[in-house]
A = this chain, B = another copy of it.
Amino acid sequence: MGLIIKNGNIITSKNEYIADILVEDEKIVAIGKDLDIKGHEVVDANDKFVFPGGVDEHVHYNSFNSLGYETSHAALAGGTTTVGDFVVQPVGVGLKDSIINYKKDYLDEKATPDYVLHGIIMDPSEETVADLVNMPSVGVSSVKLFMAYKGMPYYVSDEWIFKALCTGKKAGVTIMVHAENADIIDVLTKKLIAEGKTEPKYFGDSRPVLSEAEATSRAIYMAEIANAPLFVVHVTNQKTAEIIRDAYNKGLSTYGETCTHYLMLNDENLAKPNFEGAKYVCNPPLRPQSDVNFMWEAINKGWLTSVGSDHCAIMGGFAEGKRKGINDFSKIPPGSPGVQDRLNMIWTYGVETGKITRQKFVEVCCTTPAKVCGIYPQKGEIAVGTDADIVVFDPNYRGTVKLEDSLSSSDYCTYDGFEIKGIAEKVYLRGKLVAQNGKFVGELGKGQQVMSKPYAYCYDKFKE
């Protein structure tokens, strides 16, 4: 038995039109006028928008200090049907094996949305780099390296980034970087702490815009020498976005994403009293409002490709987790929950304010993330043959983000109190209804891995 979503205003990244969508066997099998098949469930989407299930290319579960997949249904409640999760390589474990182990330990029968996996190099070595070419065999075609975090095992020097770029390219694996200059941050952090400037509001001062711009610029130089594509995660500011744009315009295959919080929040959040600022500590830090404004322009103009949530619900939440940094901002575990609110925020504060069109919303929240992750058009598109991941969206809903509605198991909500306009009235994952009006109504642990194809989006315009 199938499903027919009738008369919805279908939004794609390029177009919109009213039609019916016919779903059978987890796939969209037809789109048309007056599709009527006996015995199929019919959902009336009249006056509703219908768009592809969200693809959040940047989430963290079961890693560092974050909570795990038992909370991953939060994504579906917010309209996101696929998450791109970063798999941490334990020191001493092969890069490919880290994926196999992680899947067994944390994902099988535990993940609720569908997922695509990215690797993270935490133990840089010749063996690890060589293993990059084996990643597509386990469905992974993107691997992140950390330029920040001096003195940590997962700090990756230029040597390994350069080698990873050279090797990744041989197998179509996209190298992603967390781009901040570790040395500058280390010097500034120690100086601030030594001066007694320990509160969250100094966190931003310890990681200036220029330290992000510098590391981004450096990674691009290395990509240019290696003649390899590059993806810069969580870009926060104008300078850095311009560096990526200008490199792309010059002919390099250089791309970057931003995240929900860099579009919604600014550095004033870090200055909230009573240690409340700690809730908003994430890496890189929130920036001044002028940068926030530029981030909207950057996604609108296509200078940044997409919007991830960088979801990371810290174990112990604010009360215990964040509290570790009560006397030293550098000890605050960075990260905050966001996977559930991403679509709501971008729609309400982007589309409803006129900053971006509905097409652009679909592009940056669904379609391009799927392309970046190498899972398009299976995910991120409304077309015949794609997975029936569908959001029926009621634009007339009016409400507010509340902690009590959050499924992320944190004791605070990053966007608490923000008004929202519109809601994912019905969310389908491979044709199954999994959420309704912000509530999860599906079955836990039914998420599947989506195999990422190598030579994905960042390789598109790439010519040897």
Interface residues of A (CB under 8 A from B): 10, 12-19, 22, 29-35, 150, 157-159, 162-163, 181-184, 186-187, 208, 210-211, 213-214, 217-218, 221-222, 224-225, 245, 248-249, 251, 297, 300-303, 354, 357, 367, 376-377, 381, 383-386, 460-461, 463
Contact = CB atoms under 8 A, between A and B. Distances in A.
A33 B30 contact: yes
Which among A13, A15, A302 has the highest number of chain B CB atoms within 10 Å?
A15
Nearest to A213: B221
Given A158-B184, A214-B222, A222-B184, A460 B15 contact: no
B14 A14 contact: yes
Given A14-B367, A218-B214, A32 B184 contact: no
A10 B217 CA distance: 39
Contact of A15 (B33, B208, B303, B383): B383
B384 A32 contact: yes
A136 to B, nearest CB: 21
Contact of A377 (B13, B15, B162, B187): B15
Contacts of A367: 14
Contacts of A19: 30, 383-385
A222 B10 CA distance: 38
A91 B309 CA distance: 49
A224 B212 CA distance: 13
Nearest to A186: B159
Contact of A181 (B30, B158, B301, B385): B158
Nearest to A166: B187
A357 B460 contact: yes
A284 B15 CA distance: 34
25 contacts: A12-B14, A13-B14, A15-B381, A17-B385, A17-B386, A18-B384, A18-B385, A19-B383, A30-B30, A30-B33, A31-B32, A33-B384, A158-B183, A162-B184, A181-B221, A208-B225, A210-B221, A211-B221, A213-B221, A217-B221, A218-B218, A249-B249, A249-B303, A302-B302, A354-B463
Given A159-B187, A162-B187, A217-B218, A224 B249 contact: no
Nearest to A355: B463
A163 B354 CA distance: 28
Contacts of A35: 30, 32
Contacts of A217: 214, 217-218, 221
Which among A16, A18, A19, A150 has the highest number of chain B CB atoms within 10 Å?
A19
Nearest to A239: B221
3 tightest A-B contacts by CB? Answer: A30-B32, A158-B183, A19-B384
A251 to B, nearest CB: 7
A184 B226 CA distance: 10
Contact of A384 (B13, B17, B29, B300): B17
Contacts of A386: 17
Given A181-B158, A218-B218, A377-B15, A301 B249 contact: yes
A460 B302 CA distance: 14
Given A32-B29, A181-B221, A225-B208, A251 B297 contact: yes
A160 to B, nearest CB: 8
Contacts of A163: 187
A236 to B, nearest CB: 16
B17 A383 contact: yes
Nearest to A461: B300
Contacts of A12: 14, 383
Contacts of A183: 157-159, 162
A184 to B, nearest CB: 6
A345 to B, nearest CB: 21
Contacts of A187: 159, 162-163
A157 B181 CA distance: 11
Nearest to A211: B225
